[in-house]
Amino acid sequence: MMSWVKSASLNSEDVFDENADELHLQSKEWTSNMKKRVMDGYVDGVDAGEEASLQVGFNLGFKEGAAQTVAVGRLRGILGAVWCWCQIQHPERPVPTPVTDLLQRVTEHETQIMEDIRKALENPPPSVSDVSESMDALDVEQEDPSLCRDGGSGPCCNKRDENMDVDNPHQNQKIRSGSTSCSSSPGEGLHLLLQCCMDLASELGLPQELMDHIHELGNIDRMSSMF
């Protein structure tokens, strides 16, 4: 920005070809005026740029966010249906605890995903001056899809998380760390939940077709990490 202001004072000599003192004063005033012009333009430009890109960003984020909850949402739907089925089949006794528990865990897992997204929303870039940082982030983002095109799941998954949470370093402890042990813990992986659901379904003697659907969710989850 400063360079333009300098060039402005140079140019001004062509315009005001009068005596030197006067020129100096004039030039000073001219410079400050032009500085002000640049600032005015800048402010309007920021507004207009924001206006123009907000929707584009929204649409992009919408797709990304949507991909994150497909698998877990479906799993919740499956367990919800099983829960209702148990209750309707045997209204006289309570729904088996494992069903209720697992439904609860899946719901919590989903809430956690939403919460993470919401947190990213509540912690916008700390200050307006962090332009370069945001710019880097933006450049990386735009290349993102091509990076993922070769279909690798692991690295892309991390990449996406980095980009999404560029302004919130503490956000990076995402839940998609995968399965570890069968005991439930905050931030347990979806794969563990899927496995538990499979076990439960076979225990209840539910149709094979349903097992296939549960199994399929594992693939969807991997797909969604490609965004």
Site for other proteins in 36-75 (CB under 8 A): 37-75
- What are the tokens at 80? 């919800």
Stretch touching other proteins by CB under 8 A, among 123-131, 148-156, 170-178, 181-189: 123-131
**145 counts as binding other proteins under rule CB under 8 A:** no
Task: Select from 81-89, 150-158, 169-177, 188-196 the region that touches other proteins (CB under 8 A).
Answer: 81-89
Total number of residues shown for the chain: 227
Q: Any contact of residue 207 with other proteins (CB under 8 A)?
A: yes
Any contact of residue 219 with other proteins (CB under 8 A)? Answer: no
Residue whose CB is less far from other proteins, 20 or 56 = 56
**106-114, 143-151, 152-160, 170-178 -> range binding other proteins (CB under 8 A):** 106-114
Smallest gap from Cβ 93 to other proteins, in A, equals 14
Tell whether residue 97 is a contact of other proteins (CB under 8 A): no
User: Please, are residues 174 and 116 in contact by the beta-carbon 8 Å criterion?
Assistant: yes
Distance from chain centroid for Cα 46:
23
Contact 189/177 with Cβ under 8 angstroms? yes
CB of 179 to other proteins, least distance (A): 20
- For other proteins, which is the closer residue by CB, 14 or 150? 14
Inter-residue contact 110 to 80 (CB < 8 Å): no
Place of tokens 């984020």: 61
Give the per-residue SS3 of 33-52.
Answer: HHHHHHHHHHHHHHHHHHHH
> Looking at beta carbons only, is 92 or 183 nearer to other proteins?
92
Q: Tell me how far apart the alpha carbons of residues 140 and 160 are, in angstroms, rounded to a whole number.
A: 10
Query: Which of residues 78 and 192 has its CB atom nearest to other proteins in the complex?
Result: 78
- The reply to whether 2 sits near other proteins by the rule CB under 8 A is no
CB–CB of 123/170 below 8 Å? no
Tokens 């307006």, residue located: 128
